[in-house]
């Protein structure tokens, strides 16, 4: 309706990509258009993460050579289930880690591979998105591109602060 009356046309969806550490804290984020490939943004987030990166976990959308290369450049273990049609590369290993994941999934089965590889850590990111949508909300309020990026950045900072405040301090008790 807006395009008919001289408006800007239809609005596009935005995607918020999060990189979360084992403690559930957001260490890197990116706000992109909905058409952007998840794996390419994931590779950028690996590079943007501060400090050493021990492991990288993602769903099958991140099963790309570029993602594996970005993770191995940071000396990180990659835990990404291969896509259903994945085959071991015949013309030399494009990614030895990916080829091992494919052979392991074929040998163990997908469900057992997920248990053995620690793929369940990916749930931390899903939990971070749940917290984001529950506390901050599902939509962005800013209208400009720069404003939306600042809003997402501030929201991630606030969410990290809230998460830190809500984390209990625990210590072992000797009997």
Residue 109 lies in a domain: no
Query: Can you give the pTM of this predicted structure?
Result: 0.80
Residue 33 lies in a domain: yes
Residue 52 lies in a domain: yes
Give how many domains the chain has, as a whole number.
1
Among 54, 67, 123, 52, smallest CA distance to 97 is for 67
Could you list the residue range(s) of the whole structural domain that residue 147 is in? 14-81+119-160
Residue 175 lies in a domain: no
Q: How far is CA 7 from CA 1, 3, 11, 48, 140, in A?
A: 8, 5, 11, 37, 20
Q: What is the pLDDT of residues 22-61, one digit of tens each?
A: 888 999 999 999 999 999 999 999 998 988 999 999 999 9
Distance CA 38, CA 67 (A): 10
Kindly give, in sequence order, each residue whose CB lies less than 8 Å from that of residue 35, ignoring residues fewer than 6 positions away: 12
> b/e map of 8-38 (b: 16 or more CB within 10 Å)?
eeeeeebebbbbbbeebbbbbbbbbeeeeeb
Q: What is the pLDDT of residues 58-116, one digit of tens each?
A: 999 999 888 999 999 999 999 999 988 888 887 766 678 888 889 999 999 999 999 99
């Amino acid at each position: 309706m807006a395009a008919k009356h001289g408006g800007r046309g239809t609005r596009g969806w935005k995607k918020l990509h999060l990189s979360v550490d084992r403690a559930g804290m957001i260490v890197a984020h990116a706000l992109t258009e909905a058409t952007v490939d998840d794996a390419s943004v994931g590779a950028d987030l690996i590079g943007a993460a501060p400090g050493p990166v021990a492991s990288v976990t993602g769903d099958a959308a991140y099963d790309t050579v570029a993602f594996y290369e970005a993770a191995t450049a940071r000396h990180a273990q990659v835990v990404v289930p291969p896509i259903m049609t994945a085959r071991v590369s015949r013309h030399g290993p494009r990614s030895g880690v990916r080829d091992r994941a494919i052979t392991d999934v074929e040998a163990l089965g997908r469900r057992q591979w997920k248990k053995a590889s620690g793929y369940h850590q990916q749930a931390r990111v899903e939990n971070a998105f749940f917290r984001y949508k529950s506390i901050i909300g599902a939509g962005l309020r800013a209208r400009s591109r720069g404003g939306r990026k600042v809003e997402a950045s501030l929201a991630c900072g606030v969410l990290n602060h809230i998460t830190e405040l809500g984390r209990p301090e625990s210590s072992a008790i000797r009997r």
